[in-house]
């Protein structure tokens, strides 16, 4: 089971969200290996841009495309 997890993207100055993917099994750690703290984003935050973490998306795509073996 995958969950989306947003953090403020440190690479950009404007208020921006970067979405990572975490799994329930490995809570708190994203697929790209980042340790993510508690969500720092609430629904009321004004965000100018959103983007998705490339490594996380790649991991999900590979996991979906592979048969559940081993």
Tokens of 2: 């995958």
Residues 6+ apart with CB under 8 A from 3: 21, 22, 23, 24
6 binds Zn ion (CB under 5 A): no
Residue placing its CB nearer to Zn ion in the complex, 17 or 30: 30
22 interacts with Zn ion by CB under 5 A: no
Give the interface segment with Zn ion, choosing from 1-9, 38-46, 48-56, 59-67 (CB under 5 A): 48-56
Residue of 6, 9, 17, 20 that binds Zn ion (CB under 5 A): 20
Residue 7's beta-bridge partner residues?
A: 18
Q: With H, G, I as helix, E, B as strand and everything else as coil, classify residue 21.
A: strand
Residues contributing to the site for Zn ion (CB under 5 A): 20, 30, 32, 53, 56
């Amino acid at each position: 089971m995958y969950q989306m997890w947003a953090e403020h993207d440190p690479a950009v100055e404007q208020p921006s969200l970067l979405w990572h993917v975490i799994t329930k099994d490995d809570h708190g750690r994203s697929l790209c290996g980042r340790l993510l703290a508690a969500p720092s984003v609430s629904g009321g935050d004004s965000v100018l841009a959103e983007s998705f973490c490339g490594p996380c998306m790649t991991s999900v795509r590979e996991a979906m495309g592979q048969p559940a073996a081993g």
